[in-house]
Amino acid sequence: MLATSPAFKQNVKGALADVALQKALAFTRPNFSGKRTAAVANLPEFEQLRDVGRDIKNHALANLDFYLETWAGNVEKSGGTVHWCSTADDARAAVLAICQRVGARTVTKGKSMISEELGINDHLEKYGIEPVETDLGEYILQLRREPPSHIIAPAFHLNREDWEESFRASHTDLPDDRVFGERRDILTEAREKLREKFLAADVGITGANFLIAETGSSVIVTNEGNGDLTQTLPKVHIVLASIEKVLPTLEDACTFLRLLARSATGQDMSVYTTFSTGARRPADLDGPDEYHVVLIDNGRSAMIGTEFQEMLRCIRCAACMNHCPVYFTVGGHAYGWVYPGPMGSVLTPSLIGVDKAGHLPNASTFCGQCESVCPVKIPLPKLMRHWREREFERHLTPQTMRTNLAIWAWFARRPAAWRLATRIAAWTLGRLGRKRGKFRTLPFASGWTDGRDLPAPEGDTFFARYARQQRDNQA
Amino acid sequence: MTPPSPGKDAILGAIRRGLKRSPLPDDQQLGLRARLAAHPRHLIPARGQLPRPEQVALFLRNVEKEFGTTARIATLSDVPSAIADYLAANNLPTDFAIAPHPELEAIDWTLRPLLTRRPGRAQPTDQVCLTHGYAAVAETGTLMLPGSPHRPTTLNLLGDTAIVVLRASRIVGFMEAAWDLIRAENHDSTTGGFMPRNIMWVTGPSRSADIESTLELGAHGPRRLHVVLIDDDPAALLTDDPTTLT
């Protein structure tokens, strides 16, 4: 997928002016965080489970080579094939080779973020193979040729009118005068259209939420059932999985299943959690004849042993973006690549380079909500700060910002100068703003005042007040 | 024999460079293998560890919370009536696909001659599919449906209505206990292990909230999920009369 992350600032301007997007964001925001809060409140052990989850992932990552080899050995024992792919190119080639060998014409797909990362759809289309996204949200995005804006609710930025318009434009075989009275009608039409695709597909591609070393299984978690139809009906099932997905045992997976759905959608458990282990057995009445796992590194191994290794614990639940004030101001598309929100702001620079994605770790208020809800306790603000440091070290930060930082640093290291400067500023601004108590515009501060007023200082600095209070307390 | 794979060497090599070590020494590998063999349980929430009758009640409550429906019957021979009643109450056709499972085949279906069963996998035209519940988890109201020649996977997916016949004795408190059952009971001749090709854990009927973040049932899988529970476990029966406990 082509990144527009370098254009983050322009993307944000567009997003803020997009009335339909702002409507969807305002509608969804309380919904997402509220559901998680309710689900977590119903499980007293949730906080402890976060520690357990973090520890299991740390253990798996510290022994990643061992667990991947064990997992791959068990995949082969079950009649499956593992394709080890270091790069996105290798992975695209592996998927295409399988599809071409079996003469595939259509390929159904379950929702997979790594598929977005690889741009599998464009690649298959280039070779005359039709990919069909079957997750409802991904399906409409494919019709509209849009990327997802959220990792688990890919099309939440669309309103009902958008769905209707796209369905009328795409399903031209259906009567023009049909009525979409309620959401259910949209769903029913998609269900019928996609049923045909499920039955016709030659290959089904899914992602994987987890890989299990002990049994050589891949696990998908869905609510619609599209992932299961995708992997059950065609002759060939291809799993796309990145290297950090591996867990040692089924018992380890249980902990993550308790964390994942609650963190993601506020469910106790998603509707379908499916463990797939190899191809159809000789006496089975259904299931694919071939089972392949395309195992993808694509930049992840380079994170191991660095301060960003902790990011590899991520289970893609989306809790961080669901609680992020920046995400709910600009939406997912502004981030410009596959992974939006706080997790994307850490992961995207790792995978496509901080030179391209440097704006993202800067687009944070460091309020810490993301870290406080992360089911595997990834210190997201700290990791974003590491990216800011790296960006600064590599001289990628804009000159004005570097100059301002240098000025700030000069004062910050000289307390007397700092106090004097802040006293002058507070006094001046306090005098200027005394009448209204706030500023509508202020030189050099349009970034703030364009969106909201700046409260005027009351004439005193924090230091001065603090000192006074200390004196009063002692007196 | 596995053919040499340059991708494999590259990935494992890169991981080891990051971890700043060679392949793990034998003693450490042995430790990890022991962890795999012991597959230790972690923290299990208290709600999964209730006394037997409450456990079964919790399972049923959770199925209903997740928009499934339930019927509780005394014996396997009540299944045909329970199915016929459910189909009639929901205006559903009386012909259905059914898992070719010995337990379901042992039922005397002649009691309800109007029911037409077609044993085997599901077909795209099936409206109602009936399968056999291997086990279930009270903690979340989840059915465990391992694929097998007796329990085709498509029965869980293709019908508009999915019905699962489950024995109360197969309800366990939490997922780990259900894994224990299949670890002990199943043998897969392809791998020599216990995992069948596919295990589906199903919690309620199919749904989606992709349209305006609003939940709708019946996205791609069944719109209805009905659990017929057979009370074959005396310990699981709730009793209103405290004197029967003594």
Q: What is the mean pLDDT of residues B161-166?
A: 98
Contact B7 A86 (CB under 8 A): yes
Residues of B in contact with A108 (CB under 8 A): none
Amino acid at A403: T
Rounded to whole angstroms, the Cα distance separating A96 from A349 reads 28
Report pLDDT digits (tens) over B7-23: 999 999 999 999 999 99
**Pairwise CB contact (< 8 Å): A224 & B221:** yes
Residue B79, token pair as written in the block: 């299944």
> Which pLDDT value is given to residue A94?
98
Count CB-CB contacts under 10 A for residue A242.
23
Helix axes A160-170, A183-200, angle to 10 degrees: 40
CB nearest to B198's CB, from A48, A248, A274:
A274
Q: Please indicate if any CB of chain B lies within 8 Å of the CB of A136.
A: yes
Distance between CA atoms of A53 and A57, rounded to whole angstroms?
6
B200–A272 CB contact, under 8 Å: yes
Residue numbers in B near A48 (CB within 8 A): 43
**Amino acid, res. A233:** L
Output the six-digit token pair for A166.
């796209």
Which residue among A214, A271, A301 places its CB closest to the CB of B202? A271
Residue B116 domain boundaries: 48-207+217-236
Structure tokens at B142: 């989840």
Chains A–B, number of C-beta pairs less than 8 Å apart: 281
Of A83, A153, A232, the CB nearest to B157: A232
- Are A272 and B202 in contact (CB < 8 Å)? yes
Q: Which residue carries 């709600």 as its tokens?
A: B47
Among chain B residues, the shortest Cα distance to A283 is held by B149
Question: Cβ A274–B45 below 8 Å, yes or no?
Answer: no
User: What is the structure's pLDDT at A360?
Assistant: 95
CB contact under 8 A, A224 and B35: no
Which pLDDT score, from 0 to 100, does residue B242 have?
A: 46
Q: Is residue A137 within 8 angstroms of chain B, CB to CB? A: yes
Indicate whether B20 belongs to any domain.
Answer: no
Output the pLDDT for position A309. Answer: 98
Question: Which chain A residue shows the shortest CA-CA distance from B7?
Answer: A84
Return residues 415-474 of A near B (CB < 8 Å).
Answer: none
pLDDT for the residue B244: 43
**pLDDT tens digits, residue range B78-97?**
999 999 999 999 999 999 99
Residue of B35, B44, B211 to mutate, testing the A interface (most A Cβ within 10 Å of its Cβ): B211
Chain B residues in contact with A287 (beta carbon < 8 A): 147, 153, 197-198
DSSP state of A172: T
Q: Which CATH number does the domain housing residue B182 bear?
A: 3.40.50.10420
Integer Cα distance of B196 and B189 in angstroms: 9
Where b means 16+ CB within 10 Å and e means fewer, B188-211 reads bebbebbbbbbbbbbbbbbbbbbb
Query: Are A278 and A78 in contact, with CB atoms under 8 Å apart?
Result: yes
Question: Which of A196, A272, A296, A321 would best serve as a mutation to test chain B binding (most B beta carbons within 10 A)?
Answer: A272
Q: Where are the beta strands (DSSP E) in chain B?
A: 69-73, 95-98, 116-119, 128-132, 135-137, 142-146, 161-167, 171-172, 198-202, 207-208, 216-217, 224-230
Q: Is the complex ipTM more than 0.85?
A: yes
A243 contact residues in B (CB cutoff 8 A)? 11, 15
The answer to whether A160 touches A140, Cβ cutoff 8 Å, is: no
CA–CA dist B138, A416 (Å, integer): 65
Q: Which is nearest to A100 in space by CA: A77, A123, A75?
A: A123
Q: CA of A92: how far to CAs of A83, A141, A397, B97, in Å?
A: 11, 21, 34, 39
Q: How far is CA A232 from CA A109, A463, B40, B100, B195, in A?
A: 12, 67, 31, 18, 17
Examine residue B13 and state whether it is found in any structural domain, yes or no: no
pLDDT of residue B4: 65
Q: Residue B200 and residue A274: Cβ atoms within 8 Å?
A: yes
Looking at the domain assignment, is residue B99 inside a domain? yes
pLDDT, averaged across chain B: 94
In this predicted structure, the answer to whether residue B1 has a pLDDT above a threshold of 70 is no
Please answer yes or no on whether A86 and B5 come within 8 Å at the CB atom.
no
Contact indicator for A337, A344 with CB cutoff of 8 Å = yes
Please indicate if any CB of chain B lies within 8 Å of the CB of A304.
yes
Domain ranges in chain A? 43-298, 414-474
Length of chain A in residues, anyone?
475
Using an 8 Å CB-CB cutoff, list chain B residues near A84. 5, 7-8, 10-11
Q: Which residues is A226 bridged to in the sheet?
A: none
- Give the nearest chain B residue to A149 (CA atoms): B210
A47 to chain B, any CB pair closer than 8 A? The answer is no
User: Other CB atoms closer than 10 Å to residue A468's CB: what's the count?
Assistant: 11
Q: What is the pLDDT of residue A455?
A: 87
Within 10 angstroms of residue A170's Cβ, the number of other Cβ atoms is: 15
**Best to test chain A binding among B1, B9, B15 (most A CBs inside 10 Å):** B15
B86 located within any domain? yes
Contacts of B225 (CB under 8 A, 6+ apart): B63, B67, B68, B69, B161, B162, B163, B164, B202, B204, B205
- From the CA of A400, how many Å to the nearest CA of chain B? 36
Domain count, chain B: 1
Q: CA A29, CA A74: separation in Å to the nearest integer?
A: 42
User: Are A136 and B202 in contact (CB < 8 Å)?
Assistant: no
Domain assignment present for B18: no
Task: Supply the pTM of this predicted model.
Answer: 0.93
Report the C-alpha gap between A72 and A75 in whole angstroms: 5
Q: A277 and B192: CB-CB below 8 Å?
A: no
Yes or no, beta carbons of B19 and A65 under 8 Å apart: yes
Of B20, B157, B213, the CB nearest to A228: B157
The residue to which tokens 């960003």 are assigned: A308
Residue of A45, A65, A192, A193 for testing the chain B interface, max B β-carbons within 10 Å: A65
CB contact under 8 A, B204 and A271: yes
Q: Which residues pair with B31 in a beta bridge?
A: none
Q: Do B198 and A233 touch (CB under 8 A)?
A: no
Per-residue pLDDT of chain A (475 residues; tens, 9 = 90+): 778 999 999 999 999 999 999 999 999 999 999 999 999 999 999 999 999 999 999 999 999 999 999 999 999 999 999 999 999 999 999 999 999 999 999 999 999 999 999 999 999 999 999 999 999 999 999 999 999 999 999 999 999 999 999 999 999 999 999 999 899 999 999 999 999 999 999 999 999 999 999 999 999 999 999 999 999 999 999 999 999 999 999 999 999 999 999 999 999 999 999 999 999 999 999 999 999 999 999 999 999 999 999 999 999 999 999 999 999 999 999 999 999 999 999 999 999 999 999 999 999 999 999 999 999 999 999 999 999 999 988 888 888 888 998 999 999 999 999 999 999 988 888 888 888 888 888 888 887 887 788 888 887 888 888 888 999 988 7
Q: In what order do the strands lie in the sheet with A246-247?
A: A246-247, A210-212, A217-222, A272-276, B198-202, B142-146, B135-137, B171-172
Residue in the block written with tokens 């019709």 = A143
User: Among the CATH numbers 1.20.1250.20, 3.40.50.10780, 3.40.50.10420, 3.40.190.10, which is that of A43-298?
Assistant: 3.40.50.10420
Please tell me which residue of chain A has the smallest CA distance to B120: A285
Residues 24-43 of A with CB under 8 A from B: 24, 27-28, 31-32, 43
Q: What is residue B246's predicted lDDT score, i.e. its pLDDT?
A: 38
Q: Does A134 touch chain B (CB under 8 A)?
A: yes
